[in-house]
A and B are shown apart, each in its own frame.
Chain A
Amino acid sequence: MVKSVALARRPGKGKKLAAYFKRYWTLYLLLVLPLTYFIIFRYIPMQYIQIAFKKYSIVKSVWEMPWADNNGLEYFIKAFSNKDFINAVRNTIMLNLLDLIFGFPAPIILALLLNELPYPRYKRVTQTIAYMPHFLSWVIIAGLARQMFAPTSGLVNNFLAKLGIEPIPFLNDPKWWVVTYVALGIWQSVGWNTIIYLAAIAGINPELYEAAEMDGAGRFRKMWHITLPGIRTTIVTLLILSLGRILGSEFDRPFALMNHMVNNVANVISIFVYKYGIQALQFSLATAVGLFQSVVCVIFLFMANALAKKFGERGVW
């Protein structure tokens, strides 16, 4: 807690405030530009969120549009009474949880692994190659995945056939599709996500490692007692932000990987919004669903943040 030494004595409140601003006015000056940015590019368009409660008309301004039926809740009702929407929510949560359970620790483990690599050039090469998949768009990755995992002509299944194993429907069967979906997600992002952790590890004082070495600590002891605590803030921050996206739904990955055999697991909220909302020009419905997602995400963010604070962490808020 930074307490300004000059304000240790407390004069009258008004004078105190004035003195405060005289000292720290530059901080507010710094914030002017970002706040202006947020107001213009985020808050002004945000007025359109109210179309979730209105009958959208493309030729009227937002304030002129009439209110939707059922006290403006018509589109929410429409969404929740749609079986496909409930299905989409279920799928979104399921896939996001799997991504979290398997995809969140993966870059941490990889960062620790890379940190253990004693050959600097090899380390640099590995890092550079590991994050290459991040640069391929999902359309391309899906094309490659189909080539690899197709039941009869795919490389992997051909290889399995040679070993006498039945072809595995990596992308055709719903259960296998989920596995492939999560695995490809990890493959694409793990190298990239290690960058933050490696940067955080780089900020740890090397003297700590030397001291531990002298105490006779082995590789894993050092990891557990120095490295992990050293990047704890980063981990917690990213975990809170990830939990806050539990109902968020990316579009590219499921859209590129889905096919007509797996729609009962692949249909996530973003795809629902695309089919029922955007392609069908039902903007109010799309916005209503988006608003629902946002509200749930904020609630989760709040909860995760409070939980972190209970454990003594700083939190995001």
Chain B
Amino acid sequence: MIKSKKSKVGDLVVAFLCFILIVVCLLPMLNVLARSLSSSEALIKNKVWIWPVGFNLESYRMVLSDTKYTWSLIWTAILTVAGTCLSLFMTTICAYPLTYEHLKGRRFFNTVILFTMYFNAGTIPMYLLLKSIDFLNRPVVLLVPYCLSVFNMIIMRSFFYGIPDSLRESAELDGAGPVRILVSIYLPMSMPVIATLALFYAVGRWNGFSDSLMFMKKKEYFPIQHWLYLLINSMTNIETTTQEGFAPPGLSESLKSATIMFATIPILFVYPWLQKYFITGATLGAIKE
């Protein structure tokens, strides 16, 4: 297929716009990277923009030699994988039955579930509940309480709606039960949405730490972002200096940037890895038609 000249020019325009986008999004990350590799003198004088000034690997050396950070990275990865699997499972078994228009009580279930998206009572009630079922300070508290997102469930359900009913009907005629239909028809065709939700849940778990902040006291189970939060706070809490009359121990700006890099880079690679699933689903959809 030969592309027309107009189309080629259009392609170049698109490519150029994407380039601008890349620059705008990449520069701040490069700034953080540059800061993590710069000397403290350069940072104090605010001379660092995109390139490191006074290049040194000291901060990375400090972060990597600190076992609590390296262990936390591994633990966060485990948590993310386990949490994502659990969440995908829960989301699927919740979304699928709700796609049956004739399901008795569907209105009721819809309301009950949607309601929870808007009404919540804060941290203390959750803390009391978790205490009463003895979830506190156990790894399970980082996996279960927030494993099912109604928002994500709605997205998956929307996607399921897009799969033609004719497929379901013909399978039912063949005598297949609902679960069988789910596993052999819906799931294989839903790779894009599963990949999307996997990404959402994975990033949510990787970046989230408000639950570990309140519900987890054992340091060996802190996710990496929790450590980053503590690091940033211990460097910048002026309120304590005026109250207590002493300054927090000096931690360099460079160390903070290095830890940010350390905590962010692993999760960035999940999407490229998941991308292949986006294409598979589309092709399958075409064939089935």
Which residues of A pack against B, CB within 8 Å? 1-5, 17, 20, 23-24, 26-28, 30-31, 33-35, 37-38, 40-49, 51, 110, 113-114, 116-119, 122-137, 139-141, 144, 147, 153, 155, 187, 191, 195-196, 198-200, 202-207, 213, 218-219, 233-234, 237, 241, 244, 283, 286-287, 290-291, 294, 297-298, 301, 314, 316-317
Contact = CB atoms under 8 A, between A and B. Distances in A.
B95 to A, nearest CB: 9
Given A2-B102, A203-B162, 19 more contacts: A5-B172, A30-B94, A34-B90, A34-B93, A37-B147, A45-B126, A45-B128, A47-B125, A113-B17, A117-B14, A117-B18, A129-B26, A135-B203, A135-B267, A136-B32, A196-B155, A283-B124, A286-B122, A314-B161
Contact of B121 (A133, A139, A287): A287
Given A41-B129, A135-B203, A198-B278, A30 B97 contact: yes
B118 A241 contact: no
Contacts of B195: 199
Interface string B104-121: 100001111111101111
Contacts, number: 233
B121 A140 contact: no
Interface string B136-177: 000000001111100100110011011001001100110001
Given A49-B121, A130-B22, A202-B279, A316 B114 contact: yes
Nearest to B264: A135
Nearest to A126: B18
B179 to A, nearest CB: 5
Main secondary structure of the interface of A (DSSP, over half): helix
A35 B51 CA distance: 52
Contacts of A125: 22
Interface string B175-191: 00111000000000000
Nearest to B132: A44
15 contacts: A24-B103, A41-B146, A45-B120, A46-B125, A48-B122, A116-B10, A126-B21, A132-B268, A153-B46, A205-B289, A206-B282, A213-B1, A218-B6, A237-B154, A291-B119
B201 to A, nearest CB: 13
B80 interface: no
A200 B169 CA distance: 24
